[in-house]
Chain A
C-alpha cells in the first residue's frame, strides 16, 4: 500500500491509529442486531408470499393465534390508514404508504418474499410454526420481471395509481414506468452525424445485492402509554425513527431508537423492513419483540441495486475529442417507485467535456423486491456502458485509453451535467497518477489483457449533530448520531484530537440514540467524515474557545492573552505570561468555574465535492473454459485528504472488490415462475478471498477547501469504475467485447465459441 505523504501541519490527521471499536469487534463483544436482548422479549417470524404477483383475497390467522405460545399476529390491516407522503432519507426517497406496504402487504403482494403477516411467540420455533399456519387466499396474477417486458402495452400493471413522473403532459393511464428523467444540451444528432467515429451498443445486467454480512434485525418495545423503544442495526437510526413514526402515525419523540453495531449496509440499511412490524407485534403482545431476517429473506425481500438495459451512442472527432453522447437507460425499481435514475443520468458522462448530450433514464416497476441504494446508487450501471464505449472509441482511433480520457476530462470550473460548475475536483490528477503508475506500463503475460476505467460520484453533506464534552480529567468525549460502518469513530476522534491538540487515545467516540443527540442524516452518500466531521470540528473548536476563556478567567487575563497549543492553554500577556495550564487541569477546575465544558454543533454541511477514481485491471482469460481471473488491480482515487488512510484504502479496496464481483459473477437469477433461484451465497456468487488479488491503492489528495481538513467523501466512488475496468480488460485479453454482465465463465465461453 502507499503511505501518504507527510501531512504538513497536522499532528493526528493522516495517521493510522487502531480503531476505538476494534477490540470489541474482533473479540465478539460488540452488540450487533441479533445480539440485543430485552427482558420478556418475544421472537417474531414473518410469513412471506410464495407468488411474485397476487391479490390477497383474505388472510385467516385463527389457527396461528390458537397455537400455544403465540402472543400476537399482525397483517397489513394493523397499519393505520396513511396518506401519501414522500420522505427522503439519505440516498433515496420513498412514499411512506409504499414503505408501509413493503413492510406488510395490504391488497396485493408484488414479489416473491413480500411480507404478508407476522407472528410473535415465546420461541422462534413456535413463531415459525404459527406463521406457517396462517392461511392466505391468493388470486395469482400474471407477473413481469424484465425491463422491456414491464414497459410493454399488455404488461401486468403493478400499481394502478402510479403515473409516469417526468413526462408532460401528465399521462392519463397508469404505467409500470414510474419515472423518466432527461438532461442534456446541444444537438446530439448533428454532432454524431459529423463525428469521425461513433460507437454504439446495448449493455445489460440483472439486479445485484449489497451482500452485507449481517441480516436485518431489530427489537421493538411499544408501551401502552404510547412510548416506544427500538434497538436495531441500521445506517441511520434517525431514519428508522422517522420512517417508523410516519408509517405508524405516531410522534417521533415517542420512539427512541438505539443503534446497535452494523455488520455492513452499503446503502441497503437506509430503510425499514422489520421495525414497524415489530412495533405492531409488541403493542399487541405487550412485550418486546425481536424480528430478524434469514439470509434467504435478505435476498428475497430486501432491496438490491437495480439491473439495467443501457443504450449508448458516443462520437468523437479524429483527434479523440468527444463530440456527442446519447445514453438511454432503464433501471429496475422493483415493487415500488425508486429514484436511482436521477443519479444515473447526472453521473453518466459528467466526467467528460462533451458539448452535445442526451441523457435519459427510466425507472421501471416489476415483480421484484423494491430496489435500494447500493454504494453510488445508479452510477456503476451506466458507467459500465459509457466507459466500455469510451474504450471502444480508443480502440477505433488507435489511442491510448488513458490519453483519450485525459484529453476529455473535466477540470475545476467545467460545468457538471446539471450546469453547476465543478469545484476543486481531482480527476485529471487521478488520470495522471494512473499513467505514471508502474502497473500501467508493466508487461502482460499470455492470455492477459489490461483494462482501465474512470468514474465519479457526487457525494453529499447535509444535516448532522455532534457534541464534544470533557471529563473532569480532561479526557474528551465525542458524541454523534452517525452509525460507524467504515471506521468513522476513528476519523471523528482524529479530527477532535487534531483541533484540541491532544493525543488520539484521549478522545473516545460514542454513537448516541435518537433521544440523546440531535438529528443526523443516515450514514450514506459518503457524507459522514465530511458532514458529521465538520460538526465534530465545530464542536471541538467551541470547546477549545471555552477552555481558553476559562483559563483566562482563572489567570485573570483577557481571553485574547491565552493561546491554545499542545493540549494546553498558554498565557501570552499580563502578569501570568509564560504560564500554561493543561487541558486536565482546566477541566477539573472548570466545573466549578463556569460549569462543565461541553459544546454541540448542529449543522447542515455544505461544500461537499465529488470524488473521482481511475481503476486499472489485468485479467487472464482461459479461452477453453471462459474463466476470468483478475491478476492485478490498482485503484486510484482523489480522496480530498485521508483523515485515517487505512480506512480510506479499505473503502477503495472494498468498493473495487464489490465491483469485481458485480462484473464477474454476481447476479439475481429468477426462474420462469418469478421465484428467486439463488437466495444464498452459494449461488449468489460474491468474490471469495482467493478470487481477487491484492487491491493496490493510490490516494491522490486534492483537498476540499470547504472542509477544515480537506475531506471529500470516499466510500462510494470506488464501486463506479470496476465494472468497465474488468470488462475492458476482458475485451483486450480476448478481442471480444461483452455487453452483458456478469462475465461468468459460461457466458465468456459462449462469446469466445460462437459456434457452440
Chain B
C-alpha cells in the first residue's frame, strides 16, 4: 500500500519542479476524472499536484480581443463570464454539458482535455474554435493547438513535468458563430456517443467563408474534419452543401462498437449532429452579422 502525497504549489515553477521530480505525479484541477480513477484503482499516482492555488490559473482574462482561460477554471465560471459566453457560446455550452451542476462547479476544460477521453465534450468545441494551449514545463513555456494534446485514449503529448497553464481562444468578428451538440441516451449525466462542434464565419450575403467541424467519440482522438468544413465554404448552406457535409463526416468517423453505441449508429448520428450543429452555429453567426 502506498500513500499518495498532496501538494498545492503557489507558482508555476514550483508545480513544474514537483511534476518533473516525480514521474508518477499527476496535476489536479477539478479532480472529477483524477479522483474517480484513483478511487477505482485504475491509477495510483505517488503525488497529486493541485493547480488551483497557483496565481492566474483560475479565471478568464481578455488577451487583446481574445480570451485566456486559466487551466483550473471550473466550467460554471465560463458560463458566468458574459463576454466569453457571448463570443464563444459553443465552447461555453460544451463545457456546461459536462456532468451535472455539482460536477461543473469543479470540472475544468483543461482537465477534460488532458484526461484524453475520445468522448470529452469540450474538446471538439475547442478544436473547432481553433483554440490553443499554453504549456509550462522544465524547458519553459510553449503554445500548441488544442488538437495536438490528445494522442490516444488516456494519453497526451505532454512531456514529463509539463502541464497546461491556460487555454486561449481567438478574437471574434462579425459573422462568426459556434455551437456544440452531443448525442447521449439520457438528458444529462452521460457520456457522448457522438459529439460535434462547429465554428463558422458567414459573410453579409449569407455565404460561408470559413468552417471548422470537429467530432468527438468517433475515433481514438478528436477529429477535425477538413472535408466537412470544405463542403460548406463557399456555399449558402444549401441541401447540396449539407449532403456533402454528411458524407465527409461519415467518411471521417472510425468509431468502435461498444456498450455505448454501435459503429453504424455512431456514423449516422455524426451526420445528423453535424447538420444540426451547423444550423445552430449559422443562426448565431447570422445574429452576429
Contact = CB atoms under 8 A, between A and B. Distances in A.
B112 to A, nearest CB: 16
Contacts of B272: 624-625
B186 A665 contact: yes
Interface string B165-196: 00000000000000000010111111101000
Interface in B187-232: 187-191, 193
Interface in B11-47: none
A687 B185 CA distance: 10
A749 interface: yes
A756 interface: yes
Nearest to B260: A683
Contacts of B240: none
Interface in A728-756: 744-746, 749-750, 753, 756
Contacts of B193: 745-746
A753 B188 contact: no
A756 B264 contact: yes
Contact of A688 (B186, B261, B262, B269): B186
For A669, A690, A749, the residue with the greatest tally of chain B CB atoms inside 10 Å of its CB is: A749
B183 A688 contact: no
Given A129-B1, A678-B259, A753 B268 contact: yes
Q: Interface range on chain A: under 10, 10 to 19, 20 to 34, or 35 or more?
A: 20 to 34
B6 interface: no
B155 to A, nearest CB: 21
A682 B190 CA distance: 6
Contacts of B186: 665, 685, 687-688, 690-691
Given A129-B1, A682-B190, A756-B264, A744 B185 contact: yes
Contacts of B269: 625, 749
A669 to B, nearest CB: 5
Interface in A667-695: 669, 677-678, 682-683, 685, 687-691
A693 to B, nearest CB: 11
Interface residues of B, number: 19
Contacts of A669: 259
A685 B268 contact: no
Interface in B259-275: 259-262, 264-265, 268-269, 272
B236 to A, nearest CB: 23
A690 B188 contact: yes
Contacts of A685: 185-186, 190
A665 B187 CA distance: 12
A125 interface: yes
B20 to A, nearest CB: 29
Contact of B189 (A688, A750, A753, A756): A688
A690 B187 contact: yes
A126 interface: yes
Contacts of B265: 626, 745-746, 749-750
A688 B259 contact: no
Nearest to B265: A746
A401 to B, nearest CB: 28
B107 to A, nearest CB: 15
A688 B185 contact: no
B93 to A, nearest CB: 16
B83 to A, nearest CB: 29
Contacts of A687: 186
Contacts of A629: 187
Nearest to B261: A746
Interface string B234-274: 00000000000000000000000001111011001100100
Nearest to A669: B259
Given A625-B269, A746-B262, A746-B265, A126 B1 contact: yes
A756 B189 CA distance: 28
B275 to A, nearest CB: 9
B29 to A, nearest CB: 20
Contacts of A688: 186-189
A682 B259 CA distance: 11
A745 B268 contact: no
Nearest to A756: B264
A125 B1 contact: yes
A688 B261 CA distance: 20
For A687, A745, A750, A753, the residue with the greatest tally of chain B CB atoms inside 10 Å of its CB is: A745
Given A625-B269, A753-B268, A691 B187 contact: yes
A464 to B, nearest CB: 39
A665 B259 CA distance: 12
Interface string A125-142: 110010000000000000
Contacts of A126: 1
Nearest to B41: A128
A750 B267 CA distance: 13
A624 B190 CA distance: 20
For A125, A691, A746, A756, the residue with the greatest tally of chain B CB atoms inside 10 Å of its CB is: A746
Contacts of A677: 259
Interface in B51-66: none
A685 B190 CA distance: 9
B183 A625 contact: yes
Nearest to A684: B259
Contacts of B261: 746
Contacts of A625: 183, 269, 272
Contacts of B191: 682-683
A749 B259 contact: no
Contact of A745 (B1, B183, B264): B183
For B188, B265, B269, the residue with the greatest tally of chain A CB atoms inside 10 Å of its CB is: B265
Contacts of B183: 625, 627, 745
Contacts of A683: 191, 259-260
A419 to B, nearest CB: 44
A746 B268 CA distance: 10
B69 to A, nearest CB: 27
Contact of B268 (A129, A678, A690, A749): A749
A561 to B, nearest CB: 65
A677 B260 CA distance: 10
A679 to B, nearest CB: 11
A715 to B, nearest CB: 25
A663 to B, nearest CB: 13
Interface in B132-182: none
Nearest to B268: A749
For A129, A665, A688, the residue with the greatest tally of chain B CB atoms inside 10 Å of its CB is: A688
Interface in A636-692: 664-665, 669, 677-678, 682-683, 685, 687-691
Contacts of B268: 749, 753
Nearest to A671: B259
B52 to A, nearest CB: 25
A647 B261 CA distance: 38
Nearest to A670: B259
A678 B1 CA distance: 28
Contacts of B190: 682, 685
A626 B186 CA distance: 12
Given A682-B190, A683-B260, A746-B262, A665 B1 contact: no
A304 to B, nearest CB: 16
Nearest to A749: B265
B44 to A, nearest CB: 12
For A129, A624, A689, A744, the residue with the greatest tally of chain B CB atoms inside 10 Å of its CB is: A624
A683 B190 CA distance: 8
A125 B39 CA distance: 12
Given A129-B1, A629-B187, A685-B186, 5 more contacts: A126-B1, A627-B183, A688-B186, A688-B187, A746-B262
Interface of B: 1, 183, 185-191, 193, 259-262, 264-265, 268-269, 272
Interface of A: 125-126, 129, 624-627, 629, 664-665, 669, 677-678, 682-683, 685, 687-691, 744-746, 749-750, 753, 756
14 contacts: A129-B1, A625-B269, A625-B272, A665-B185, A682-B189, A682-B190, A683-B260, A685-B190, A688-B188, A690-B187, A691-B186, A745-B265, A746-B262, A756-B264
The 4 closest A-B pairs by CB, nearest first: A746-B265, A690-B187, A669-B259, A624-B272
